[in-house]
């Protein structure tokens, strides 16, 4: 006849089972939070190459915000796209495009810069715009940096113990730079999830634009704020049958959202323009990259629009039947955020 296990063993099994259940609950809770908030563990953003559509790079909303800031700082200094590519590849290697407050010895931030080596105070280095600016200041001092291999140019700035590690990030950095400088049109998309963040409204959008591009982005481009009710409605998504308002992740867009729209007029030859529309696509892609952190629901430019909640990595044509909508999106970037 089988005897029941001693009470101590039974108690031990109960403790192990309870501990395992708690771990499972914690993991499930973490994954839920990451999904809802678009956190560091949830990709959510994608860049697609325009040439063949096969080369893609997927990254998180946090990485998108930082990549957009690095790019904006470079173009605000009138630096070429190659400089932006070098900076993005360096940050991908040093921090995976995350603004981390730890590293080797006293290294900090996107580029793992060290206060003890004259890069700035810890608070300054943890400011993405500052740290990117410092990287570019050192990069432009490298003679002929645009003609050097990326690993050589990055190493002249960083003095890394593993200089060849930058090379593996060059393809992804090239895709990111093409989209975030505006050279590749309608190639960057994010899921958005605008409910996840605290900052919202046109004031938050304008403050973030100044933070990354400098005050000139509003002085030269205008930056009027309109009621979203005057903006054209979002076009239906071919896959979901609705715009952002019909998706599970969005809070609505256009007049139905009760949001506000920042309008940035784009003129030929402004900022990083090498051809008409490049500056506009830089601003439009910047807005999409910041969608989660600023609760941006809709971005429209040049007859195309992105809406939060669409997950098929596309910009859709605006309503072709609306002359008013075509007029509003032809020469200006429309950024609609929640109130």
pLDDT single digits (tens) 139-166: 999 999 999 999 999 999 999 989 999 9
pLDDT given for residue 197 in this prediction: 54
Query: Where are the strands (E) in 233-278, listed by range?
Result: 260-265
pLDDT of 181 > 80? The answer is yes
Confidence of residue 6 (pLDDT cuts 50, 70, 90): low
In this structure, the dihedral spanned by the alpha carbons of residues 182, 185, 188 and 193, taken in order and rounded to 10 degrees, is: 100
Which pairing describes strands 188-190 and 224-227: parallel, antiparallel, or unpaired? Answer: unpaired
Q: Is the dihedral of CA 102, 189, 169, 31 positive or negative?
A: positive
Q: What does the pLDDT look like over 207-246, one tens digit per residue?
A: 999 999 998 888 754 455 554 433 443 333 333 233 333 3
pLDDT of 56 > 80? The answer is yes
For residue 85, the surrounding DSSP H or E stretch is: helix 81-95
Which pairing describes strands 304-307 and 316-317: parallel, antiparallel, or unpaired? Answer: antiparallel
pLDDT of 32 > 50? The answer is no
Question: What is the DSSP-derived secondary structure letter of residue 225?
Answer: E
Residues near 259 by beta carbon (within 8 Å), at least 6 away in sequence: 228, 252, 253, 297, 298, 336, 337, 338, 339
pLDDT given for residue 337 in this prediction: 87
Confidence of residue 53 (pLDDT cuts 50, 70, 90): low
Instruction: Tell me the whole-structure pTM to 2 decimals.
Output: 0.76
Alpha-carbon distance of 338 to 253, in angstroms, equals 8
Alpha-carbon distance of 282 to 72, in angstroms, equals 8
pLDDT of 23 > 60? The answer is no
Closest CA to 279 of 302, 303, 307: 302
For the chain, what is the mean pLDDT? 78
pLDDT of 255 > 80? The answer is no
pLDDT given for residue 94 in this prediction: 97
* Mean pLDDT to the nearest integer, 297-326: 78
Confidence of residue 266 (pLDDT cuts 50, 70, 90): confident
pLDDT given for residue 229 in this prediction: 38
Alpha-carbon distance of 284 to 276, in angstroms, equals 14
Q: What are the b/e assignments for 148-187, b being 16+ CB within 10 Å?
A: bebbebbbbbbebeeeebbeebbebbbbbbbbbbbbbbbb
């Amino acid at each position: 006849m089988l005897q029941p296990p001693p009470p101590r063993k039974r108690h031990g099994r109960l403790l192990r089972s309870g501990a395992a259940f708690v771990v499972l609950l914690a993991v499930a809770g973490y994954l839920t939070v990451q999904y809802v908030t678009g956190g560091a563990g949830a990709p959510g953003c994608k860049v697609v190459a325009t040439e063949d559509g096969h080369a893609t790079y997927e990254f998180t909303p946090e990485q998108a915000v930082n990549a957009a800031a690095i790019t904006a700082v470079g173009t605000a200094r009138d630096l070429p796209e190659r400089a932006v590519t070098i900076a993005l590849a360096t940050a991908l290697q040093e921090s995976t495009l995350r603004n981390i407050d730890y590293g080797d010895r006293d290294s900090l931030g996107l580029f793992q810069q060290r206060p003890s080596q004259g890069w700035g105070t810890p608070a300054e280095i943890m400011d993405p715009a500052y740290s990117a600016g410092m990287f570019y200041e050192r990069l432009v001092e490298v003679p002929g940096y645009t003609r050097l291999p990326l690993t050589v140019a990055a190493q002249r700035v960083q003095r890394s113990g593993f200089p060849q590690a930058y090379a593996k990030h060059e393809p992804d950095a090239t895709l990111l730079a093409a989209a975030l400088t505006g050279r590749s049109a309608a190639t960057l998309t994010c899921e958005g999830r605008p409910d996840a963040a605290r900052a919202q409204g046109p004031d938050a959008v304008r403050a973030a634009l100044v933070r990354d591009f400098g005050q000139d982005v509003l002085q030269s481009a205008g930056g009027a704020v309109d009621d979203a009710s005057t903006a054209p409605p979002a076009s239906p998504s071919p896959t979901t049958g609705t715009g952002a308002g019909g998706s599970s992740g969005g809070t609505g867009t256009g007049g139905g959202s009760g949001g506000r729209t920042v309008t940035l007029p784009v003129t030929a030859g402004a900022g990083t323009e090498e051809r008409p529309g490049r500056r506009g696509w830089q601003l439009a892609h910047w807005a999409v990259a910041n969608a989660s952190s600023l609760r941006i629901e809709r971005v429209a430019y040049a007859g195309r629009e992105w809406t939060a909640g669409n997950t098929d990595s596309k910009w859709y044509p605006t309503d072709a039947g609306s002359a008013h909508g075509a007029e509003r999106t032809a020469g200006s970037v429309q950024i609609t955020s929640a109130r």
